[in-house]
Amino acid sequence: MSTLFFGLIAAFCWGLHDIAVRYLSRTVPLLGALLVVLLTGLAFQTGVILLNGAPLFPTGPALWYSIGAGVAFLVASLGLYYAFARGPVRLVSPIIGAYPILSLTYAAMAGAPVAVDQVTAVLVIVAAVGIVAILSDTTAEDVPPKGPTILFAILSAIGFATTFKLGQLAGDTGGEWQSTLVARIVALVLLCSYLLAARPDIRIGRKAVLPLITMGILDGIALLAVFSAASLPRPEFAAVAASMFGLFTILLARIFLDERMASAQWVGCVVAFLGIGYLAL
């Protein structure tokens, strides 16, 4: 399997996850939602590791990479949840979806050769996904001040790029499942520490439990998919493909929720997939 295939699996799962975030963010406390998602993902990954009879935790450098990935993943998740809660989507999605640029920068800093045509293909993908997201948001309602929203979105983008880089380093040296498990445990411990100190309202209500559990499983599969690309050539391309989650969100909304898509959005989708196809050559 190629790194792009793993990335597209992650994008599809996060696309479904993103639909749920957008619809739950207005009625469910974000920190309570994130807590359930992290707990579900932890239970899912622990169960699979135990069924396979594999060790639960990585050792050596992989452990430290996993811990760093967990911290970055919490930053990314909080930024994502709060940015989408504030909106608008046309502002938030393009910023978060631009994290592959940082992923390529990390790869170049680590000594991986990055050709000009590959950089161009990544920029085209990021731009196409951003255009599709911008055109999908036609709301005219008032939104909170944009400064904090932009900051949350930037933090999320940095967090995702850092999570994927550290997670892949951990997966390459200590096992993908184990590294993902540790990253999720760290994120959960940090979140619970904050909840105990701040004591915000995290009551989510019964109707939100099943969607949040589903989100947790999807999130677990997506994170594992990106980490699993660590041992393959050009693992940073998995992060690039995963950035198409916003595009998948809109396509899935078109299929399942019958939301209309403009011609320019269809063009953006085709361009983004052509960019992925070029990277696969």
Distance (Å, rounded) from C-alpha 197 to C-alpha 169?
A: 32
Q: Are 236 and 105 in contact (CB under 8 A)?
A: no
- For residue 60, the 8-state DSSP code is T
pLDDT at 78 over 60: yes
Read off the pTM: 0.86
Q: Which pLDDT band, with edges at 50, 70 and 90, does 9 fall under?
A: very high
Our measurement of the distance from residue 81's CA atom to the centroid of its chain's CA atoms, rounded to an integer in Å, reads 11
Distance (Å, rounded) from C-alpha 140 to C-alpha 123?
A: 29
Q: Tell which residue, 104, 70, 88, 189, has the closest CA to residue 137.
A: 88
Q: Tell which residue, 21, 10, 9, has the closest CA to residue 215.
A: 21
Distance (Å, rounded) from C-alpha 93 to C-alpha 206?
A: 29
pLDDT value, residue 151: 92
Our measurement of the distance from residue 232's CA atom to the centroid of its chain's CA atoms, rounded to an integer in Å, reads 20
Q: Are 32 and 202 in contact (CB under 8 A)?
A: yes
pLDDT in tens, 92-140: 878 888 888 888 888 888 888 888 888 898 899 888 888 888 787 666 6
Q: Are 81 and 30 in contact (CB under 8 A)?
A: yes
Domain boundary assignment for the chain: 3-280
Q: Which residues, at least 6 apart from 115, have a Cβ–Cβ distance to it below 8 Å?
A: none
Does residue 68 or residue 206 have the better pLDDT? 68
Query: How high does pLDDT run on average in the chain?
Result: 85
Q: Which pLDDT band, with edges at 50, 70 and 90, does 141 fall under?
A: low
Most confident among 109-113, 144-148, 188-192, 206-210 (mean pLDDT): 188-192
